[in-house]
């Protein structure tokens, strides 16, 4: 009478025991009781008609037949696990996480999202906007596009867009109040201010006018104060005053004519938007991140 075929599940139990050389530790790893593991090993040995382990007081040792079987079982289990993982990866959408600030997300990133998703329909794109710098390293976003000085970022960060700022307004506002030739003339204009607790990170009207050789009169702020850059630009397009316009963020509005330069003076600084990539990023996700930035 032929011996019954071993239960395939017992080979997974055998592999754990053979690798760990201990029934109790194997039971803990497999989420089984120690008697259940011992039963599976005994049943496998009965099916094969040979002993696989020598029982010791503090564990087990593989016998010759056990060594040969363990090598074959580990190779088979490795191949099965690899195939299962490949199937699961194929069913899961690839993800790309992006961290940037509110302004770049609204004016630079979102206009490209539709085209990016048309090119990569299987990608789960996750965008987190914040004015704070994201954490760098293995736990940060796949792609960071954040504003600051070069020293604010890791050594491998690359410059995406240098800071260049010019005053902008609607064509109607300029018709009523222009022309404005010298930046000092803007000190008396209706200025649109961005309210932020991080004035040191980018130009404000005070720092821009100072760099242009002019100053706001002491105690005068004037105009409207808004707490998002999107609102600042919308107010400028509505003819409410003059806003600081960052190249790279306002280019579409300039090209469409919704905004025009209020003065020909444009200033640059040593700051800008920098690209950072998560450490250990796989080649496929890195290629997606580079493709997204190229489309922006």
**Residue range 214-218: average pLDDT?**
69
| CATH code for the part of the protein at 162-270 | 3.40.190.10
d(CA 7, CA 43) in angstroms, rounded, equals 9
Q: How many residues does the chain have?
A: 296
Delimit the CATH 1.10.10.10 region(s) of the chain: 8-90
Delimit the CATH 3.40.190.10 region(s) of the chain: 94-161+272-295, 162-270
287 pLDDT more than 50: yes
135 pLDDT more than 70: no
pLDDT-derived band of residue 277, with 50, 70 and 90 as boundaries? very high
3-state secondary structure at position 140? coil
Give the list of residues 6+ apart from residue 196 with CB closer than 8 angstroms, or none.
131, 227
7 pLDDT more than 50: yes
| pLDDT for position 78 | 81
Give the list of residues 6+ apart from residue 220 with CB closer than 8 angstroms, or none.
187
Contact 232, 149 (CB under 8 A): no
**Residue 274, token pair as written in the block:** 């920098």
85 pLDDT more than 80: no
- Long-range pairs for 76-82: beta carbons < 8 A, 24 or more residues apart: 76/11, 77/11, 77/12, 77/15
**137-166, pLDDT tens digit by residue?**
566 789 999 998 998 888 889 999 999 999
| More confident of the two residues 2 and 177 | 177
* ω into 179 cis (within 30 of 0): yes
| pLDDT for position 1 | 41
**13-23, pLDDT tens digit by residue?**
999 999 999 99
pLDDT-derived band of residue 57, with 50, 70 and 90 as boundaries? confident
Distances in Å between the Cα of 52 and the Cα atoms of 47, 157, 193, 212, 252 are 11, 56, 79, 84, 73
User: For strand 94-100 and strand 143-149, is the pairing parallel, antiparallel, or unpaired?
Assistant: parallel
2 pLDDT more than 90: no
**Residue range 251-279: average pLDDT?**
94
Architecture category of domain 94-161+272-295 in CATH: 3-Layer(aba) Sandwich (3.40)
Distances in Å between the Cα of 159 and the Cα atoms of 8, 70, 102, 246 are 56, 53, 18, 15
**Residue range 43-72: average pLDDT?**
90
Give the list of residues 6+ apart from residue 79 with CB closer than 8 angstroms, or none.
none
Architecture category of domain 8-90 in CATH: Orthogonal Bundle (1.10)
| pLDDT for position 174 | 94
The percentage of residues in the chain with a pLDDT greater than 70, rounded to a whole number, is 90
* Average pLDDT of the residues of the chain: 87
**86-128, pLDDT tens digit by residue?**
676 666 668 899 999 999 999 999 999 999 999 998 898 999 9
d(CA 274, CA 159) in angstroms, rounded, equals 4
């Amino acid at each position: 009478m032929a011996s019954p075929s071993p239960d395939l599940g017992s080979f997974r139990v055998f592999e754990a025991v053979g690798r760990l050389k201990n029934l109790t530790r194997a039971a803990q790893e497999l989420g089984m009781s120690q008697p259940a593991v011992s039963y599976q090993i005994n049943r496998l040995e009965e099916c094969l008609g040979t002993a696989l382990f020598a029982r010791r007081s503090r564990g087990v040792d593989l016998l010759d037949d056990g060594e040969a079987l363990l090598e074959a079982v580990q190779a088979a289990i490795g191949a099965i696990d690899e195939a299962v993982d490949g199937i699961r990866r194929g069913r899961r959408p690839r993800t790309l996480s992006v961290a940037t600030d509110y302004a770049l997300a609204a004016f630079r990133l979102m206009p490209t999202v539709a085209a990016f998703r048309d090119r990569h329909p299987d990608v789960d794109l996750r965008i987190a906007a914040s004015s704070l710098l994201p954490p760098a390293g293995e736990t940060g976003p796949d792609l960071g596009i954040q504003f600051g000085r070069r020293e604010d970022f890791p050594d491998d960060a690359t410059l995406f867009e240098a800071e260049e700022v010019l005053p902008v307004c609607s064509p109607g506002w300029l018709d009523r109040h222009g022309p404005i030739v010298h930046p000092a003339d803007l000190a008396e204009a209706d200025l649109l201010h961005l309210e932020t607790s991080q004035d040191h990170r980018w130009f404000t009207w005070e720092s821009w006018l100072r760099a242009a050789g002019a100053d706001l009169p002491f105690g005068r702020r004037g105009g409207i104060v808004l707490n998002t850059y999107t609102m600042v630009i919308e107010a400028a397009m509505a003819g409410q005053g003059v806003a600081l316009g960052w190249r790279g963020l306002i280019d579409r509005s300039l090209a469409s004519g919704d905004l025009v330069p209020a003065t020909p003076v444009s200033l640059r600084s040593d700051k800008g938007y920098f690209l950072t990539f998560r450490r250990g990023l796989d080649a496929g996700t890195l290629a997606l991140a580079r493709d997204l930035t190229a489309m922006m």
